[in-house]
Amino acid sequence: MIFVTVNKEFISHPLIKQNIISRREYQENIFINCLNRNCLVVIPTGLGKTIIALMLVIQRLTEIKNSKVIILAPTKPLVEQHYKSFLELTKLPQESLKSLTGTIAPEKRKELWADLRVAFMTPQVLQNDLISRLYSIKDVSLIIFDECHRAVGDYAYCFIAKKYIDIANNLQILGLTASPGSTEGKINEIKQNLYIDHIEIRTEKDLDVKPYIHKVDNEWIKLKLPSEFLEIKRILEEKLRNNYKILKENDLLASYDILKITRKDLLKLNNLINRRISTARDDNEKFQMFNAKKIAANAIRLSHMTELIETQGISTLKDYFKKNEEKIKNNTANKSLRELFADKDFKRVQKLTYELHSKGLVHPKIEKLKEILTKQIIENFNSRILVFCHFRDSVNNIVNYFKENETIKMHKFVGQATRGSDKGLTQKEQINLLKEFKEGIYNTLVGTSVAEEGLDIEECDLVVFYDVVPSAIRSIQRRGRTGRKKDGKVFVLMAKGTRDEGYYWAEKTKEKNMKVSLEKIKNSETQSKGEQSNLLNFINSEENDGADSLEQNISELGLIKKIEGAEEYEIICDNRETASPVVRNLSLIGMNIKLEQLPVADYIVSERVGIERKSAKDFNDSIIDGRLFTELSELREHFLRPILILEGNPFKSLNISENALYGAITSIIVNLGISIYKTENSIETAQFIYQLAKKEHSTKKSSLKLRFDKAPIETSRLLEYIVAGIPGVNTLRAKSLLKELKTLQNVFLSDIPDLTKIENIGKKIAQQIYKISRYKYKNSQ
């Protein structure tokens, strides 16, 4: 039964504010076609996907009584945008709509969850809450995955969808995106990961969409590099070509033509060289390969520097030099970097760069940008402009260039990460900045990829690509920030004869492929409307020949089956481990997981068993930077049975000698007495931890407690240790209590007035000591 009705002009329902949402035929059609099925909606930006989501939310809340809905978005600003839209467009009580983000404490989220109807969240928050079993989503009747093109690999959307499918009573999934991927395979991966059984596709050419498409003028501006830039480029390319020649002579590259070697080719070299090292016939061949590793590392650096001078400018290249010079100065640089910066030709590049920077020479893009922005704001004082830039250093340099400009009121819009002195923006700062942008305090934002997705800034009438990205998804997202409520313009700045042009054609090809793939899928959907309605049935069906391959694809994502009775076994995981698939797999097995920030260990199975997990790469890196033995020594100090899980083969990702690896492994076993267990992948790691917990808890049922300071042997220190275990009492207060009262007996038998007379003990702590010392133990088992 359809509860949301549509008349000639408006969408109607008691929970929708009347005459607020105008009727659009395509929204009505998509809504009807998505009823009671897991649906992926691909729709151009600015066409009101929020309205489609809202209609489906109201339908599900009306249809499934006492159910809840979750709306997920990748960033907090986008979460807040959805939340505000629902406040403005629906009559749902404000207290039933909640934005649950990481700034709210877990226990508070649990409390808010009980009474809400619609939750607006980032996937990382929901993932952690599901792992911690903070609340159940079995009564959630709909989850909406916004910007669902992210539902690939290990992204949290994949885990959430699997968890939801496993436990929900009345489930429905809606995925929303403007750019699902450039190939049919990528689009199908999203469909599989979100258990989609129907896809709704609209393009700008569809008849029901055409009337609502705003005109967006696209202009590509080609700029000539100055001769000074070309000289730096020439030296860098000559050094790069020499490196390619050596790599080709070692059969590691097919060509030394700079135009034919891509960044992807260079990134593949490390694994290829590692394999050659592990199969080397003699020391001479090994030496050649270790030398090739240095050359490959510097080839990547030289390629990156060439890109900076071509597409970004002198300031960004200078910033890159400064960062690496700091590494060399602090003795944190590896040998290849030190050798590169000691090279006489390279020193000439540095000298030229610093000279040009001191003269104030800038990339022609920045002068063109100034011309475009000034003209736009003079012609339309209320204009709002977004400038996109791939590199954060370039964002900072652009903002600094315009900081004294009174016409162009500019601010950076970047992610949260702080890199050295370059401070990121918190999500709260991002939200406030967008508000100030809409209000006109700033008329121009210069952003990295964090500004590309979903932000609905209807005032934005101009978008500028400071550089070109070879990604169809990112280009579509960038362009989609304008032309949402009115006509817009897009300028793309390209440096002639550089990789800007190559990236432009690569992006165009990918976007064309995306349109072909979508058209093919659209035609396929039209032909098979009467077929299977549920992907789970499709997976489980023995009659379907493709079931095995689909299960294989899902298992490759680390999604493993629930084990009956696994919830009886509790483990504590370091909350930073949620970035790895291991914790998600443990949750899918069904284990009882507590997330804590652990000072020691990644996983605690029992009071005596602690686990440190290292991937093969991290294991090798931690040997080089020296942290491995510090971490493992602390593990041994705090646990009677310390275990190191080594995930993957460190000899295949060899960036240190075999002898050093064998030396480290034998030292861990013989000198530290730590057991090493090797696993192939995150699935095996999760299964081993489960079996370990099962074995450890089968003989002794006990709840885990966290206390990482080691119990002292000397008796006076032991007394301090015991008293400091009382909540609110630290070592200083414990010393004050024992100095005055002498014995544990006196401490625990003292009345509140006596306790408050002691230095550092207030009334609240005195009450806590009094209460605990008289509390009757209750065995919960």
Whether 683 has a pLDDT exceeding 70, the answer reads yes
Q: What is the pLDDT of residues 314-342, one digit of tens each?
A: 999 999 999 999 989 988 888 899 999 99
592: enclosing H helix or E strand: strand 592-596
**First CA to last CA distance, the chain:** 48
DSSP states of 20-74 as a string? Answer: TSB--HHHHHHHHHTTTS-EEEE--TTS-HHHHHHHHHHHHHHHSTT-EEEEE-S
Per-residue confidence (pLDDT) for residue 119, from 0 to 100: 97
Closest CA to 313 of 239, 237, 226: 226
Whether 543 has a pLDDT exceeding 70, the answer reads no
Per-residue confidence (pLDDT) for residue 712, from 0 to 100: 57
Highest mean pLDDT pick, 100-114, 614-628, 701-715: 100-114
Name residues whose C-beta falls within 8 Å of residue 538's C-beta, 6 or more positions apart in sequence: 197, 532, 544, 547, 550
Whether 657 has a pLDDT exceeding 70, the answer reads yes
Q: CB of 253 within 8 A of CB of 265?
A: yes
State the pLDDT confidence band at 589, using cuts at 50, 70 and 90.
very high
Closest CA to 82 of 19, 212, 176: 176
Report d(CA 644, CA 647) in Å as an integer: 9
Per-residue confidence (pLDDT) for residue 702, from 0 to 100: 55
143: enclosing H helix or E strand: strand 140-146
Per-residue confidence (pLDDT) for residue 554, from 0 to 100: 39
Per-residue confidence (pLDDT) for residue 778, from 0 to 100: 79
Structure tokens at 65: 């009584």
Q: What is the pLDDT of residues 340-366, one digit of tens each?
A: 999 999 999 999 999 999 999 999 999
Beta bridge mates, 217: 489
Distances in Å between the alpha carbon of 525 and those of 27, 34, 199, 245? 18, 13, 7, 50
Q: What average pLDDT does this structure show over 135-163?
A: 95
Structure tokens at 162: 């699997």
Whether 469 has a pLDDT exceeding 80, the answer reads yes
Name residues whose C-beta falls within 8 Å of residue 341's C-beta, 6 or more positions apart in sequence: 324, 325, 328, 333, 347, 350
Other CB atoms within a 10 A radius of the CB of residue 651 amount to: 14
How would you class 309 by CB atoms within 10 Å of its CB: exposed for 0-12, middle for 13-18, buried for 19 or more?
Answer: buried
State the pLDDT confidence band at 10, using cuts at 50, 70 and 90.
low
- The single-letter code of the amino acid at 543 is E
Closest CA to 726 of 743, 707, 739: 707
State the pLDDT confidence band at 515, using cuts at 50, 70 and 90.
confident
Q: Any idea which of 291-300, 525-534, 597-606 has the lowest mean pLDDT?
A: 525-534
Q: What average pLDDT does this structure show over 422-426?
A: 83
Q: What is the pLDDT of residues 118-146, one digit of tens each?
A: 999 999 999 999 999 999 999 999 999 99
The pTM score is 0.76
Per-residue confidence (pLDDT) for residue 27, from 0 to 100: 84
Per-residue confidence (pLDDT) for residue 722, from 0 to 100: 87
State the pLDDT confidence band at 23, using cuts at 50, 70 and 90.
low
Per-residue confidence (pLDDT) for residue 655, from 0 to 100: 62
Distances in Å between the alpha carbon of 184 and those of 34, 187, 300, 563, 611? 21, 5, 31, 34, 41
How would you class 739 by CB atoms within 10 Å of its CB: exposed for 0-12, middle for 13-18, buried for 19 or more?
Answer: exposed
Per-residue confidence (pLDDT) for residue 349, from 0 to 100: 95
- Which 3 state secondary structure label does DSSP give 174? strand
Rg over CA atoms, the chain: 30
Average pLDDT, the chain: 86
State the pLDDT confidence band at 555, using cuts at 50, 70 and 90.
very low
Per-residue confidence (pLDDT) for residue 133, from 0 to 100: 93
Report d(CA 25, CA 148) in Å as an integer: 24
Closest CA to 125 of 116, 113, 142, 138: 113
**Residue with structure tokens 């034919």?**
260
Closest CA to 135 of 147, 126, 144: 126
Q: What is the pLDDT of residues 206-215, one digit of tens each?
A: 888 888 887 8
Q: What average pLDDT does this structure show over 164-180?
A: 93
Q: CB of 176 within 8 A of CB of 170?
A: no
Per-residue confidence (pLDDT) for residue 527, from 0 to 100: 55
Q: CB of 105 within 8 A of CB of 125?
A: no
